[in-house]
Amino acid sequence: MKTLTILAAVTLFALGMLQCGGGPTDPSGTRTAIADFSYGQHQWEPGFADYPVGQEAFYELEAEHRNLPVPLDTSKRGLYISGNNHSDDLFMFWKGQIVGLVPNRTYLASFNLEFATNVPSGCGGVGGPPGESVYVKAGATEIEPEAIDLGGFYQMNIDKGNQSQGGEDAVVLGDVASSQECGQGTPQWELKQLSSAETVEVASDGDGRVWVFMGSDSGFEATTSLYYTRIAVTFDP
């Protein structure tokens, strides 16, 4: 099972987890779960949607927990994901389950995400710019987010929205454009942080669990590659 446990007033960096506020005697308090993928995958799993069934090789879909590229700290790792967006709508994501919330409680979830990108800002591209038209999203759901076969085309079973628009289960955090301007030398990998300005309403199940996912929704008709290094999800009752 893909889980992150929220611990009462205990920091456990080895597993990338933290609870803030709302100790064991205060079940109504805010809780924050942090997953740091520098040294572990924490049983998170990748997925892809918005592409034809059986076209994984053509779309060059890849995902694994791998070392960060230079000039970043190559002793650390991230959740790598990559794909060639032939459909002009490819969604690439990682998902994990969080446990330790109050059972059957409704929360407002907000997100802070760190990832590595080497896409300069201000570049032109097929269908849209490679940086500004690849939208980063995060979401929380009661059911496991999955890509399902609908008439020969993989689509999500939850509402993530489409490209620049969020959905009932996801918010747009920003895009993958780096601080490097287009044409200013060889593109360099750098870490970028994004935070959500909006929240997602989600209810925990009877065991205090919810699913969380993060991904990119692309309008750029070529290859996008990213390394997700850290996510923090705050749950406000």
Q: Write out the DSSP string of 85-106.
A: -TTS--EEEEEEEEE-SPTT-E
Fold of 3-46+57-145+161-236: Jelly Rolls (2.60.120)
Residues 175, 48: Cα–Cα separation, whole Å: 18
Q: What is the mean pLDDT of residues 105-118?
A: 98
Instruction: State the pTM of this model.
Output: 0.88
**Structure confidence at residue 115 as a pLDDT band (50, 70, 90):** very high
| 138 DSSP β-pair partners | 171, 214
- Percent of the chain predicted with pLDDT > 70: 88
pLDDT of residue 16: 33
Render pLDDT for 8-23 as a digit per residue (tens, 0 to 9). 322 222 223 333 333 4
Question: Residue-wise over 89-103: b if at least 16 C-beta within 10 A, else e?
Answer: bbbbbbbbbbbbbbe
